[in-house]
Amino acid sequence: MPKFCANLTWLFNELDFLDRFEAAKEAGFDAVEVLFPYDVNAQDIVDALGRYELRMALMNCPPPNYTGGPQGYAAVPGLDERFKKDFGRAIRYAETLGATHLHIMSGVAEGTEAKETFINNLRWAAAEAPAQSLTIEPINNETMPGYFLNDFDLGREIVEAIDAPNLRLQFDTFHAAKITGDVMGTWDAMRDITAHVQVAQMSGRGEPDQGQIDFPAFFALLDAQGYAGWVSGEYKPRATTTEGLGWLAGP
């Protein structure tokens, strides 16, 4: 089976945030991801990671805007300086937490200028933090209307245009199913540029068990192809998280 990690923004949220690390370890996870950890003292997270011998697999960039603004704007024309400033804060947090990957969100935008802005900002970020693995994630427009990076072929085009060793794709099965309707085929087309995988079922974005996506087959495919990265459970538990973890044991 692949190496599984737990998204603590979505899982174990019946518990206080810092208690989720212990719950993840007890459930058998060796790594976690947190989408926006910035409102928690970084040292508290570092202590929890160390106490339960967990890795921080991924976090998002930029930090959320607490005045109601967008969470991502790397592709939004005119916000280049804001992106660079907030990227600096995100990198400091990622380094403190030892985050394997930092996911850069494109934000809501469209058109040629947005594409150029996204490429320029990503090229700058990859050079600014050459030791940090960066990812971009295609997100379907139903979940996030107007999101610029809403297509896997566009994701490949951008990764290849920048051609930086520390920039790769983030593959989410839920978004792949929404965008293409073919999770297995999309994975085969994108696996060579993919650094991180997230899983949730269709429909409802629940546990990766019963539903439209054949997860036992998907996990077997990852194993057969030698995928060595993390596979994160990023889904909405039907009940408590622990009650829905049967999928970890495999078929």
Strands 133-136 and 101-104: parallel
**How many other C-beta atoms are found inside a 10 Å radius of the C-beta of residue 248?**
16
Burial of 210 (0-12, 13-18, 19+ CB in 10 A): exposed
Among candidates 54, 35, 18, 83, which has minimal Cα distance to 196?
35
Exactly one of 14, 137, 142, 207 is catalytic; name it: 137
Rounded to an integer, what distance in angstroms lies between the CA atom of residue 117 and that of residue 34?
A: 26
| Phi, psi angles (nearest 5°) of residue 31 | -150, 160
Return the amino acid letter for 157.
E
- Amino acid code (one letter) for 155: G
d(CA 56, CA 45): 9
Distance (Å, whole) CA 129 – CA 44: 24
Establish how many alpha carbons lie within 13 A of residue 227's alpha carbon, considering only the half-sphere containing its beta carbon: 25
Is residue 110 annotated as part of the catalytic site, yes or no? no
128 in catalytic set: no
- Distance between CA atoms of residues 61 and 73, nearest Å: 9
Place of tokens 């380094």: 95
Residues designated catalytic: 137, 234
